[in-house]
Structure 1
């Protein structure tokens, strides 16, 4: 088994996390505001009836109230619940008071669990990531949680990653289980990628 991509990912991941950790609160806040505006401008959000997302923590790019940004009349927002095996269960977001502290510094919805397959009903999925390359391949934190979630999506689901400027790279190391996303948002731009429906 070729361990080179996994080793390259570890090195790149460490570098990107160090850069994020060094960012000041003003840059984080400005990025969060710009990304909220970019999300609201997506035509895919306007058309979505079910959106799956996450709650940004620490230096993750995105507004702290990401679920509120995505919510709208007649639109359901699903948020992840991390399971013991690092897979993701899902629960409906019902407002800021529905979030509770969880392990690893996460905040999760307190409502009934809908099962890992619930993400398959989402029209739009906002995924965390550390970098995305020109092919739309995303690199996450290494637990594989979102690779599994992306594998459960319907073919037409629109997937988007929120990033800081500088996290759109020419190439990220890839492994067979990695799944491309359809778009990446940074404070400066929205980039769309051609994605093969069969992938």
Structure 2
């Protein structure tokens, strides 16, 4: 088998990012709110959520599914809630515990809300469920990030169940991926819960101009 050309894959990823930003910009705010609520419902009703003792969620950026209702739900159900926090010593993100979301968060290095520096950090093998945003996901578990590589580095360290969350317009056809890209175990959209087939190679990525969704 001929190995994928990393340069060609990165060019294809760049085209996909432009396409997904266009789709998200065209999405009405009412649809964002409605789909976010449905995503939270589906995720909270899933078996991985029910089994998880430690849940790693995230503080949503504009254009990402709003999973903040799950912060409080996790705590009310007796689970430990963690969010990523940038560690300048390691130059990497670590999961940090949050018990009072209204008071425990501050603006981090990249303007994203994250746990305050004094809150306890966890090791990456502790979260049982990792909820992952992205610009796009496909049925083979490939994830298209924003290009900074922060989540990619985090996901290489985790052993928990990796679940992508996306709006309907972000669930798409074959995304470009390299062998070292970490795939999701499942993806949740407003359309439901989608298990991913992790066995075997992914089919080659395609150009967004010919994508089906």
Same fold (TM > 0.5): yes
Paired residues, what number?
A: 192
Which structure has the larger Rg over C-alpha atoms? Answer: 2
Match of 1:112 among 108, 119, 128: 119
Write out per-residue CA displacement over residues 79-108 of structure 1, whole angstroms, 9 at most, x where no aligned residue: 001345873122111122211122433111
The structural deviation recorded for 1:158 is 1.2
After superposing the two structures, state which structure 1 stretch, 86-95 or 137-146, moved more. 86-95
Partner of 1:153: 158
Query: Is the aligned partner of 1:87 residue 2:85?
Result: no
Which deviates the most, 39-48 or 17-26? Answer: 17-26
Aligned to 1:186: 189
SS in structure 1 at match of 2:168: coil
Structure 1 unmatched ranges of 5 or more = none
Shift of 1:126: 0.3
- For 1:185 and 1:47, locate their aligned partners in 2 and report how far apart those are by CA, in whole Å: 17
Please say if 1:16 is aligned against 2:23: no
User: Unaligned stretches of 5+ in structure 2?
Assistant: 200-213
RMSD: 2.0
Aligned to 1:102: 108
CA separation in 2, counterparts of 1:5 and 1:188?
28
1:170 positional shift? 2.2
How far, CA to CA, are the matches of 2:53 and 2:62 in structure 1? Answer: 29
Give me the TM-score of the superposition, normalised by structure 2.
0.82
Shift, 1:113, TM fit:
5.0
Residues 1:130 and 1:69: Cα distance change in structure 2 (over 3 Å): farther
Counterpart secondary structure, 1:82: strand
- Residue 172 (structure 2) pairs with residue 169 (structure 1): yes
Q: Secondary structure at the residue paired with 2:124?
A: helix
**What TM-score comes out, normalization by structure 1 length?**
0.87
